[in-house]
Structure 1
């Protein structure tokens, strides 16, 4: 699929379009409501990226349905919480290209707009709106024809609706990512940090968050690929300036299973269920996740 490079710049047909559609799906995506592990939206082939290609575009629409009636307490036990149902949509546009000066490097720039709806069955209240938008870039290269290594960094801008948790804290999401293909077996993953600015409303600074996400898939054929997912994050405690105290750290590990469907050569749909298996002082994940990707 990836031809050997020559010294002269030449146009190379990009890899199968369904792959590039999947690729854009996770670069920088993070839900505005912190209930699930950061970047757990990624799927198989998420970082199976091309080099030396003609520029192209990708649109991705995510949808996450989170059942929030459980949470991890400070002792690591799953406890009853307010009966909330959260729906998060992420609408994303990505532009891919390679620089003329070095076609062996791939680049991408993207813009993501979150849409959030939250309903609390206990209080019979609800809220919805646009979350903090996300924008940034990614760069990568291919150590071999069947592997990819790259870096991505994104800013989440605090201009979203206050009712759904936006509009106060700047965030920077930076991570390394990699992908390796072993015939029908596929492995894609990332590891990185989220850095937060100060919260004026809370008079506190959120602690730095570490996350890592892993997807192991098996290609049954060109159209169907089941996979398993493992996600983890740990956040340092918030530092309250006025009280001079630091809130406890929080963490969660989740496991999931899903399947990816590729069709029409340039589109895909991915379905995944994820559930928290360990945590502390963190919302307990219990979610159904959908993703539609279209490349042109």
Structure 2
């Protein structure tokens, strides 16, 4: 069993959510190698702050035939600040619970025109619940709602984001963490209603030392066509390193790119995550 403070440092606070309009990446694609390596029930309540940052160049895209074409030529910058409260309910001491609040900040730059649109995006809030069948496995469920009260960069519609998640600590200091779920969206102010999206995110890491853990990641998403918009899908791959800097802090850096896609902007992004627990 890990020391309590070590457990806290491994908690990546369940999810990192990015609006589909703000990023070419897949839903939840900011997760890291220990995203769902959560403590067993019976722990003392604690808090986690997470800051995510992503820079993506949208110079290329994939058309309906899967051929690469010129993209919108924009640069998208996303920052997400997240607070999470973790606790164990008295009526179920073997269960872990978490409640989260996330506030995104989004900037979209037109590199050719030299203009930028930026502001506070639609905040998200929701919960996670999990159970550990043994000390090396975590199984859980999480659900979030996007509230359309952001500024110019708001998607102007409600969203429901629900998924199952898992984490397995494997022999030889390997680890596998991931999730799979769906995103449902209501009609936007413009009258357009996006189709239902299905997604999965997977991270495979190797703890090569006390402080360094390189990893590879795969993200995939399929979105139904609707209201004249075609169906789309993407498979992204990435590499990164998680730095376990202190017992209650970590920094993760990852590069992600599109491996294959249809009717999607190509993902070409650098992603950073900072975690602090107390």
TM-score tier after normalising by the smaller chain length: over 0.9
- What is the RMSD of the two structures over their aligned residues, measured on CA atoms? 1.4
1:156-188 Cα offsets, whole Å, 9 max, x none, are: 0011113x2x15110000000000001300000
Q: Which residue of 2 aligns with 1:260?
A: 242
CA distance in 2, matches of 1:272, 1:222: 19
Residue ranges of structure 2 left out of the alignment (5+ in a row) = none
CA contact (8 A) 1:28 1:173 kept: no
CA distance in 2, matches of 1:82, 1:14: 45
- The correspondence for 2:259, drawn from 277, 283, 289, is 277
Q: Tell me if 1:85 matches 2:75.
A: yes
1:39-87 Cα offsets, whole Å, 9 max, x none, are: 0000001001112100000000000010111111111011112321111
* TM-score w.r.t. length of structure 1: 0.90
Q: Which residue of 1 aligns with 2:269?
A: 287
Give aligned pairs, total: 275
CA distance in 1, matches of 2:32, 2:16: 13
Q: Which residue of 2 aligns with 1:155?
A: 145
CA distance in 2, matches of 1:252, 1:180: 25
Q: Tell me if 1:46 matches 2:35.
A: yes
CA distance in 2, matches of 1:44, 1:174: 20
Change (3 A) 1:293 1:13: closer
Q: Which residue of 2 aligns with 1:182?
A: 170
1:243-292 Cα offsets, whole Å, 9 max, x none, are: xxx32101111000000001221100000000001001111000000000
> Greater CA deviation, 74-83 or 38-47?
74-83
Q: Which residue of 2 aligns with 1:6?
A: none
CA distance in 2, matches of 1:88, 1:263: 24
Report the structure number with the largest CA radius of gyration.
1
Residues 70-219 of structure 1 correspond to what in structure 2 (within 5 A)? 70-162=60-152, 164=153, 166-183=154-171, 184-201=173-190, 203-219=191-207
CA distance in 1, matches of 2:100, 2:264: 29
Deviation at 1:28, TM superposition (A): 5.1
Deviation at 1:103, TM superposition (A): 1.2
CA distance in 2, matches of 1:91, 1:67: 22
Q: Which residue of 2 aligns with 1:58?
A: 48
Residue ranges of structure 1 left out of the alignment (5+ in a row) = 3-11, 240-245
CA distance in 2, matches of 1:209, 1:17: 31
* TM-score w.r.t. length of structure 2: 0.95
